[in-house]
Amino acid sequence: MHDTARVLLESGADYSIRDQDQWTALTWAAMKGHLPLVELILYFGASIDEKGSDGATPLIWAASQGHTDVVKILLNKGANPLIEDDHGKTALVHALLKNHLQSAQLLYKGGADLNINLLYAAKRGFPEMVNYLLKQGADHSWITEKQETPLILASLAKNHKWRKFS
């Protein structure tokens, strides 16, 4: 696949053409976790923060699929971790929603907001993610406009593994 793409790009194939979902080859490569292809398309000059019809960038797709190696290269090449999709979710939020801790760690280092993401992790019932965000400085007493705290949202989570305390 990588060799085929290289031949096509070297012969002048347009990496900016979009399919019916407004996704380019870079978006597809990031979504599928094809690191060599991501690097190749970027080398030929693709826009790193391009958005599809849903507003998602290649970084958002890589994070949502847990492709940590792709997340890392996109961040190193300058992808913006603060861009939101059409639903107001950043790449870190997508990583949190799927419980992809390694991708979330990279995205946090890239400048993502801790407190908002603590709320998502608490609401989804992801203790490892909550612990990581707290250790990075997220505020456990942060309150939303609806007066919800991470603890309140954690109590609403459906996938908690509750332990009996005595």
SS (H, E, C) the chain: CHHHHHHHHHCCCCCCCCCCCCCCHHHHHHHHCCHHHHHHHHHCCCCCCCCCCCCCCHHHHHHHHCCHHHHHHHHHCCCCCCCCCCCCCCHHHHHHHCCCHHHHHHHHHCCCCHHHHHHHHHHHCCHHHHHHHHHCCCCCCCCCCCCCCHHHHHHHCCCCCCCCCC
Of the residues 112, 128, 144, the one at which a domain ends: 112
Task: Provide the domain limits for residue 82.
Answer: 2-112
Same domain flag for 63 and 84: yes
In a domain, 166, yes or no: no
For residue 89, name the pLDDT band (cuts at 50, 70, 90): confident
Query: Within 13 Å of residue 105, how many CA atoms lie on the same side as its CB?
Result: 11
Mean pLDDT of 92-103: 89
Kindly report the number of other CB atoms within 10 A of residue 125's CB atom: 19
pLDDT in tens, 40-53: 999 999 999 999 98
Residue 163 has pLDDT above 70, yes or no: no
Residues 81, 157: one domain? Answer: no
Q: Are 83 and 46 within 8 A, CB to CB?
A: no
> 75 and 39 in one domain?
yes
Q: For the chain, what percent of residues have pLDDT higher than 70?
A: 92
Task: Examine the domain organization and report whether 126 and 103 are in the same domain.
Answer: no
Residues 51 and 105 in one domain: yes
Co-location of 108 and 119 in the same domain: no
- Token pair listed for 91: 């790449």
7 with 76, same domain: the answer is: yes
| Range of 1-5, 54-58, 88-92, 154-158 with top mean pLDDT | 54-58
Mean pLDDT, to the nearest integer, of 147-155?
A: 91
Does one domain contain both 97 and 125?
no
State phi, psi for 79 to the nearest 5 degrees. Answer: -60, 140
CA–CA distances in Å: residue 124 to residues 22, 88, 121, 156? 30, 17, 5, 9
Angle CA 112–116–122, to nearest 5: 120
- Predicted local distance difference test score (pLDDT) of residue 1: 62
The per-residue pLDDT for 161 is: 53
pLDDT at 144: 85
pLDDT tens digits, residue range 106-121?
A: 887 766 678 888 888 8
Residue reference for tokens 């597809």: 28
Give mean pLDDT, residues 130-149: 90
- Do 6 and 63 lie in a common domain? yes
pLDDT, tens digit (0-9, with 9 covering 90-100), for 119-134: 888 888 888 888 988 9
Q: What is residue 164's predicted lDDT score, i.e. its pLDDT?
A: 47
